Amino acid sequence: MRPPETGPPTALLCGEIRTCLLPARQALDIRSAAQFLALRADERVLLSERPTLYARSPDTLTGVDCPLPAADGARVRAVGTVAAHAVLTEGRVLQTSARFRAPASGPDQRRPWGQYLIRPGTVEPLGKLPREPVARGVLDGGRQGDLDVGLIADALLTRLLRHPLLDQRPPMRSRPTRLRWAALPAPSGAGPSLERFTLAEDELRTVRLRVPEDTPADEIAGLCADLALHDWLLTTVVRTFDGIRLGTGADRDGSSVLRALGPAVDHLLHLWMPRARVTPALARLWDPLEERPGFTRQWDALVHRIRDQLALQAIGPARREVEPAP
């Protein structure tokens, strides 16, 4: 049971998610995943086997007392804790997620620390919260010394990547991605909506949402992790085609195609399952992305392309016979 959400209503929810391939030759089974994600001795790792193998670590908290990033340059000091956790999907894709919620206003003075700890994952402004500038500030990135939840997600990722269960031999090359998100309250009576999903440079994605006020931070972070996971899958599989020279004759035995595409088949193709861990109310936020640009459409096209390439390799000798003689 989670505690009832106490305190003032949420005016802003923000977070950042890092997604990367687990640097291990073999995917972790569910028991190893539980061991890997046991960040706290006294709290269980949540494990689920349907519809995908999924393991979620307990939350860890980091205390902060610093200005919030604000697009208009306002300096709003805020105090509280940022909650971070890690998730492993199919023992293969590791995500760390840091998030906080902020009320519309807080006391003018910092309170005793124990009072912040009873509302884990809440960062309270001293005074009023300029929610729109802060939401933009979080998505655009703040100045040095501003609250940066990405650093906290990164610290947890660094800590996990040193775990002795990992042999540091990933089956393929890939790059981690970052997804920053900010959720503002939806107008009263309106449902949740996805306002913007931006593919920025440097493996950075930003997501801007509107959600009803009582939506738990956990569920929004879950939706964003689902978006981050699938965006990372697309990014990574698209990249596997980079550097392969298809149909040029330079790779007659097809070994480079197999070398590049084989690991994607072994480790990634079965992971595509949008909305698998998203609450029904938020799952429909996938719809606009499926409409345009069409995440699943692109994925299906990539999967067909991989299968076609592998099929071509399998019939390689026959194909050579029909090639025109020089």
Partner 1 sequence: MTDAVFHETAAAPRTQAVPLAHLSLELGHLYMEDFEAGPGRLRRHFAEVRPWAEAARAAATARAAATARTGAQRARISTCFLVDDYFTRFSSPAEVVPMLLAEADRAGLTVDYLARESGCAVFGEVPVAEAVAGRIVESPPPSSHGIRPPAAQTGWLANGERSPAVRAPQAMKRAQVWRPPKETAARRHSVFLDTELFSDGPDGRTWSCPFLAAVWQLARLGLLRHQGEAVLSPRPHGDGGFPDDWDDLPPLLRLNPDADPFTAYRTCSVLPNRFLPVEHAVRVILDQTEVDPGALGQVAVRARGERAELPDSVADRVSYVFYAGP
Binding interface with partner 1 (CB under 8 A) = 1-4, 6, 40-44, 46-50, 54, 61-66, 77, 79, 81-82, 110, 112-115, 117-118, 120, 145-149, 151-152, 155, 279-280
At closest approach, how far in Å is the CB of 324 from partner 1? 57
At closest approach, how far in Å is the CB of 129 from partner 1? 17
Give the C-alpha separation, 55 to 98, whole Å: 16
Q: What phi and psi, each to the nearest 5 degrees, are found at residue 5? A: -70, 115
In 3-state terms the chain splits into helix, strand, coil percentages (rounded to 5) of: 35, 25, 40
At closest approach, how far in Å is the CB of 98 from partner 1? 8
Buried-state track 22-40, b at ≥16 Cβ within 10 A, e below 16: bebeebbebebbbebbebe
Q: Which is nearer to partner 1, 97 or 240 (CB)?
A: 97
State CA 234 to chain mean position distance.
13
At closest approach, how far in Å is the CB of 64 from partner 1? 5
At closest approach, how far in Å is the CB of 212 from partner 1? 17
Q: What is the DSSP string of 152-202?
A: HHHHHHHHHHT-TT--S--SS----EEEEEEEEEPPTT---EEEEEEE-ST
Q: Which is nearer to partner 1, 146 or 231 (CB)?
A: 146
Q: Which is nearer to partner 1, 68 or 135 (CB)?
A: 68
Q: Which is nearer to partner 1, 123 or 234 (CB)?
A: 123
Q: Which is nearer to partner 1, 226 or 236 (CB)?
A: 226
